[in-house]
Structure 1
Amino acid sequence: MTFERLKPGHPAHLVLGLVIWSVWFVLLYGGLSVACELAPPGAEQGALNWLNATLLVLGVFFFVMLLAGAYMSWRHAPSAESDQPQQRFLGRVAAAVYLFAAIASLAIAVPSLVMPPCL
């Protein structure tokens, strides 16, 4: 499937936000486990270390990417006056799913601000 087929209003946008979030979730916890096994940061560094910084930067990247999906879906949904209520519903629900996934992706990255990664 190419992105050319995923124009705004495509039904795949109803689940794409949660798929992207789940990829981020697996990448975050899988990468954290591997990094803690291979090259754990020193315990004396606390939360201020290279691993937490990497996780936070990636978290912000996924947050912005999902927010862009929400904005795109909301902006390209037809207006209430149009004769396409199904497309309007699809665009609005897709925007809500992207927004929910964006908030969830940021929520799982926030602990890297205060917790040491390899306890």
Structure 2
Amino acid sequence: MTVHAAWRKPGHPMQLLLGLTIWSLWFVTLYGGLSVACAVAPPSPDQGALTALNLWLGLLTLVTLGVLLWLARFCLAAVRRESGRAARFIAAVAGGLHLFAASGVAFVGLPLVALPPCL
């Protein structure tokens, strides 16, 4: 089974790492992109939170949040469908980890709505 096919199975052990890996890539991209943009071409603080930088980072946050919530639903819905105990356990734990990662994305991404990007 290839890595590409593994994520499609909710009971595959790779699901245990997938949500937090997506969260960490989002986190590094968010703050790395914010740091580079603020160093190269910072928006005016007078604009407040309504900047193109916040818009792009907000879109990235919404896409990441959507992917993590979809993965959580995918895994949690499979808990009743999976045949083996181990697969059900992995699907349940992975669903919880995906929800945990999604809550981290929502919590860390919330300041994009209210704060100027480069203070």
TM-score for both structures, normalised by structure 1: 0.91
Match of 1:61 among 63, 70, 94: 63
Is it true that 1:105 corresponds to 2:109 in the alignment? no
Q: Which runs of 5+ in 1 are unaligned?
A: none
Is it true that 1:84 corresponds to 2:84 in the alignment? yes
1:48-97 CA deviation, whole Å, 9 max, x = no partner? 11111111111111000000110111112235xx7622111111000000
1:27-54 CA deviation, whole Å, 9 max, x = no partner? 0000000001111111110111111111
Q: Aligned partner of 1:86: which letter?
A: A
Inter-partner Cα distance in structure 2 for 1:45 and 1:83: 55
Partner secondary structure for residue 102 of structure 1: helix
**Would you say the 8 A contact 1:78–1:87 is kept in 2?**
no
Q: Aligned partner of 1:84: which letter?
A: G
RMSD over equivalenced CA pairs, Å: 1.5
Is it true that 1:14 corresponds to 2:16 in the alignment? yes
Match in the other structure for 1:37: 39
**Would you say the 8 A contact 1:40–1:118 is kept in 2?**
yes
Match in the other structure for 1:95: 95
Inter-partner Cα distance in structure 2 for 1:73 and 1:41: 41
Match in the other structure for 1:116: 116
Task: Provide the identity percentage.
Answer: 44
Higher mean C-alpha deviation, range 90-99 or range 2-11: 2-11
Q: How many residues align?
A: 117
Q: Which runs of 4+ in 1 moved over 6 A?
A: none
